[in-house]
Structure formats: structure tokens, C-alpha cells
Amino acid sequence: MLVPQLINGLTQGSLYALVAVGFVIIFGTLNLVTFAHGEVYMVAAFVGYFALAVYHLPWPLALLAGMVAGAVLGMATEKLAFRPMRSAGHMPPLLITIGLSVILKDLAVIVWGAENRAVPSIYQQTIQVAGVHVSVLQLVILALACALVGVLRLLLHRTRMGRAMRATAQDHEAAYAMGVNINRVFSVAFALASALGGAAGVLVGIYYNTVYATMGSTAGLKGFAACIFGGLTSIPGAILGGLIIGVVENLTVQFMASGYRDVVAFLVMVAVLIVRPQGLLGKTLRSI
Amino acid sequence: MTPLYAFVPSARNRRVWVPVLAGAAAVPLVVRSEYVLNVAVLAGIYIILASSLNVTNGYTGLFSFGHAAFYGIGAYTAALLATRLAAPFWLTFPAAGLAAAAVGSAIAVPTLRLRGIFLALVTIGFQEITFLVTMNWMSLTRGPLGIPRIPPPALPGISFRSNVAYYYLILVLDIAVLFALTRIMTSRIGRTLIAIREDELAAQSCAVPVFRYKVLAFGLATFFAGLAGAFFAHHARFVSADSFRLDETFVILTMLIVGGMGSLVGPVIGAVALVIIPEAFRFFAEYRGVVYGLILIGVILFRPHGIAGVPGIIQPRGAARAPAPPHKPEPALDVASTPESAR
């Protein structure tokens, strides 16, 4: 029973990791925290649901649609909450994104209803690897998560924009003085982060066959817990944090009451913040 | 004329607060509708909640996002004492405050080494943990079923059949809480907390035991939140975890920010305004969250110190909207106020 739970945990954890990496990109470049990330994820999940269940598009297109919707929403968030508040410290943008997340969540409940929507399932077959049954869907999700992180890495390390982003992450002012258009950098950072969050939303909808209007808050907070694990600025740390939280959650279900599953992420987050606020891999500051 | 945020009721400005109090006391004589009185009682509860959150977030500049958890701890303490041990209101009420303050101070000791955004996040985490434990600890809290049949307050000579009695009770409690907060905040304690907010290092160099005062601020804020919870439990006569979620924290926080942080009248104005405004648009009941969100965003963008708040608490002074260089990253670990024992 342990191995399947481990695989469940890794799959779930890879989705948390995608959300967490989004937080890291934003915190890494802007040094600020957004609270609307979970709602971006929720809206993208709904876009994926409509693409799959209503328009019967193939799933890669649904995934792409969700990512584009996420990116657009993310860039809008940056324009509304972060650009006018560039020099206002941490709190005002955080509070604006809190307002935004409340608005988006309530609008979603009003427009799409509070009930769960069924997402059609894909890849229902299982294959046997070394005597263990693994669902193909889980493998697809794990592969996609890896691919997305790989693409992100390429974007950050092999393109001009990626270099500008890393420079801005190191020092806004110096990058600005060197002619980097930091407004565009911030916009792209939000687009990338929100596209990853959107991908996570669509994949979660496919994985659990369901989307609902309030799915964003918990996912956002858990992604956040995962990213704190990595010290807010380390992408590998955030991925590791997401995977650990996913696995530990599933083991909690296995060995304890399932109701306490969600407590794990927050206990981890609080413990890490108190004991080691720079995170487990926080030494690799700025190396996004 | 003193600015609104400096308003402290005293003999000099009695022309302002005496009519307001008299008007508040006269409301049940004019209004007979149970519904309107219920809204007024609700406003009274939120006045305590927003004013108590003001102690940490406003006066001391410590951003806590877990206020609803302490409100809930107070409500559950009162509910359990009243239903299981048949404790009377005069006992459950202070017990709820003390329970919330005990948990609040216990949380504060390890978390107050963090500052700014990190403190906010750890309190959000604590808020979620409290909610999930309340939902799952079936033997104590009955989980999602909640605790029904909480008796109304039993005070000699007063029958709590209608909202009139509740209204006068919360009015008296509001006055008591606001009086206590006024006395505390204009005393040495209050001045010390404000000094910590303005410049922690300077306060420390003046031999202020910063860490102890921060814990005290947390204890005070959570104590009053617990009192509000006890009143809520005896008024609603039913508590369930759903009333004390993160969303509720955001509601209280929005009231505080709209009214204005760091002033005595701010949270009172904010609480009353934000309870009444959505009721006025009752036809759009489902848009309540949208209205709150829009109000919060609008206030932060255009008037970050709210209606009657002290400027510069959530936004550093002079850093309004100019394209100034980005702020320096905030250190996660607050070395200055680490307790001696933890060093």
C-alpha cells in the first residue's frame, strides 16, 4: 500500500510544486507576495473544464487555454495591484491581492455556481511497473510537470528575457540602470508564474475529475507552504517542498485520519517559518 | 481642530461623543424591527473585533491575519463551558477572553521573531490549522455539526428574549472595551507599542523590552477577540467552524483598514460602515464579498490610511505613488527582538 500512496503523493505534490514555483518567480523578481495566485489557478481550471467538457477540445488545447487564461489574469493582477504600488512595501500589494482574490472567488460562485463540475476523465488505464499498478494519467501529469519546469528553466537561462529577469531578481536598480525594462520583466514574471499556476489548475481538474469555485484558496495556501519550504526564492526548494507536502499528506491519509490531511501543509509551513525562515534551500537565494 | 485619528473621548470633546452615545442608546426606542437590531448587534461585535485587531496591526505594526481564529477560540470556549458545564455568562465571558489570550500569547512567543510578510503568513497558517482542527476534533467540537443550544446570557433581571436586551448588552460591552483600549493606548503601554511600530531599534535602545511588549500586544488583541467570540456564541446560540474562517479575518481586516488603523475611532467607523453598507444593498446579497473586495482595493489604492487612520502604517511615509526605487528586501528574521533565551 505504501508505493501507490507514494505515487499519489508525488503526483499531487508535483501539482503543488507548479503553484509554488509561480510564487517563487513572483517573489524572486518583485520581492512581493500575491494572494490571488490561488484564484488564477481556479479560473484556469474552469477554462480547462469548459474546453474539455463543453467544447470537447483535446486535453493539450485545454491545458494551453488554461495557461493562457492564467497568464492574462496574472498580468492584469500585476497591472492593478503591483505597478501602482511599486515602492509601497509589502503590505499594500498583498492587501490588494487579498481583495482581488475575494472578488474573483465570489464572482466565480455567482457565475459558475457553488457546486462541483465534473471534468471528463482521460487516460483511465493503468499499467504495471515492477508489480505496482500505476495509472497512466499520473505518469502523464508527472511528465508534464517536469516538462513545464524544464521549459521554465530554459526560458530563464537561455533567453534574453530570462537573463533580464534574473538580473532584476538580483538587483532592481542595477538592472534598471543597465537598460532592462523592469516593467516588462515584472509583467512577464507574472505571466510565467500564472501560466504555471493555470497549468496546475487544469491538471488538478483532470486528475480529480472535478472543478469548483472555491478550489483556489486551499491550493494557493498549500502552494505557498511549499514555496516557504524552499525559502521563497529557490525554485528547486519550492519543487522539493511541493513534493514533500504531497507525499506527507498522502501518508497522513494512510496512517492517520483523512480529515487531518490538510493540516500537514500548514504545520510544515508554520514550523519552517519559525525554525528556519530562510527555508530549507534558502541559501541558494536569487538563483531562480 | 485635532485630526480625527487623534480623537480620544474626553471632557473637552464631549459635544461629539455624548450625542453619539445617546443616539446609540436610543436606537431600540425608535427601531422596533428585530432585523435592524440584529444588524446593530452584529456591528457591535465587529466593533470589538476590529478595535482589538487594531492593537496588533495598527498600534504595534505587527500584521496578524489570524484574528478570526481567536474569535473562534473564544466562541468555542464559551459554547463548551455553557453547554457542557452549564457555566453562566459572567463566567464564560471572561473565560473565553482568557482562553483566546492564552493561545494568542503562546502563538506569539515563537512567531514574533518574524516580521512583516512572514508574520502575516505564519498567522494565516495558524488560522487554517485552527479551522481544520475545529472541523476534525469531533469529540470536543462536534466538527462540522457545530455546537447548538447555547443558552442565552442569564443576567439578573434581564430577559434575553429579543434583540433589545442583546443590543444593550453589546452596547455596554463596546463602551467597556473601547474605554479599556483608550486607557491602555494612551498609557505608557500604548505609547511603547506605538514607539515599537515607528522605530523598533530606537525603542530597543531606550531599554524597551520590545519582545515582551509585542507579546503583550498580541495577548491584548486576542483577549478582546475572545470576548467578542463569547458574546457571539451566546447571541447566535450556535457556533460552527464556518463562522471563523480566513474569510472572516479578511472581513475584520477590511473594516480596520477602511476605518483606519492606529486610531481609536477608525475601527469603530469601519465596523459600523461595513456592516451597514452590504445590508443597504441586500438585493445583491451574493455580491457581499465583491463589495468588500472592491472597497478594500479602492481604499488601499486611494486612501491607504482609511477614513480616520494614522498615515504611514501599511505604507511607508513619502513612498506614495512616485516611481521611487524599489524597496529593499525585508529581512525574514527579526534579530532585534529575539528573546534573550532564544539567542
Chain A residue with CA closest to B317: the answer is A88
| Mean pLDDT along residues A257-273 | 81
Q: Give the least confident one: A150-164, A258-272, B289-303.
A: A258-272
- What is the C-alpha separation between A151 and B52, in angstroms, rounded? 48
C-alpha torsion B336→B337→B338→B343, nearest 10: 50
Asked if A92 and B296 come within 8 Å (Cβ–Cβ), the reply is no
Q: Which of residues 112-171 of A touch B (CB under 8 A)?
A: none
Q: Give the least confident one: A13-17, B26-30, B212-216.
A: B26-30
Say which of A94, A98, A263 has its CB closest to residue B133: A263
What pLDDT is stored for residue A215 in this prediction? 92
* pLDDT surpassing 80 at residue B318: no
Q: Give the least confident one: A153-157, B205-209, B309-313.
A: B309-313
DSSP alpha helix (H) spans, chain A: 2-30, 37-49, 59-77, 91-112, 136-158, 160-170, 172-177, 182-208, 215-229, 235-255, 261-275
What pLDDT is stored for residue B238 in this prediction? 93
The pLDDT tens digits for B92-110 are: 999 999 999 999 999 998 8
Model confidence at A135, in pLDDT bands (50, 70, 90)? Answer: confident
Domain-wise residue ranges, chain B:
31-245
Q: Which of residues 1-40 of B touch A (CB under 8 A)?
A: none
- What is the C-alpha separation between B175 and B167, in angstroms, rounded? 12
Cα–Cα distance list, A119 to A8, A18, B54 (Å)? 19, 20, 44
pLDDT: which is higher, A260 or A13: A13
* pLDDT surpassing 80 at residue A79: yes
Q: Give the least confident one: A12-16, A83-87, B25-29.
A: A83-87
The pLDDT tens digits for A26-56 are: 988 888 889 999 999 999 999 999 999 999 9
* pLDDT surpassing 60 at residue B338: no
Shortest Cα distance, chain A CAs vs residue B250, angstroms: 8
Contacts of B287 in chain A (CB under 8 A): 106, 110
Q: Which of residues 10-69 of A touch B (CB under 8 A)?
A: 31, 33
Asked if B126 and A270 come within 8 Å (Cβ–Cβ), the reply is yes
Asked if A225 and B125 come within 8 Å (Cβ–Cβ), the reply is yes
Asked if B118 and A277 come within 8 Å (Cβ–Cβ), the reply is yes
Q: Which of residues 246-285 of B touch A (CB under 8 A)?
A: 246-247, 250, 253-254, 257
Whether the ipTM is more than 0.90: the answer is: no
Shortest Cα distance, chain A CAs vs residue B85, angstroms: 28
The pLDDT tens digits for B50-106 are: 999 999 999 998 989 999 999 999 999 999 999 999 899 999 999 999 999 999 999
State the CB neighbour count (10 A cutoff) for residue A121: 12
Among A66, A64, A27, CA closest to A46: A66
Contacts of B118 in chain A (CB under 8 A): 273, 277
| Mean pLDDT along residues B121-129 | 90
Residue B106 contacts A, CB cutoff 8 Å: no
pTM, whole model, 2 decimals? 0.89
Domain-wise residue ranges, chain A:
9-219
- What is the C-alpha separation between A42 and A58, in angstroms, rounded? 20
What pLDDT is stored for residue A253 in this prediction? 81
Mean pLDDT of chain A: 88
The pLDDT tens digits for A144-160 are: 999 999 999 999 999 99
What pLDDT is stored for residue A70 in this prediction? 96
What pLDDT is stored for residue A186 in this prediction? 92
* pLDDT surpassing 70 at residue B125: yes
Asked if B110 and A263 come within 8 Å (Cβ–Cβ), the reply is no
- What is the C-alpha separation between B231 and B253, in angstroms, rounded? 20
* pLDDT surpassing 80 at residue B166: yes
| Mean pLDDT along residues A206-210 | 92
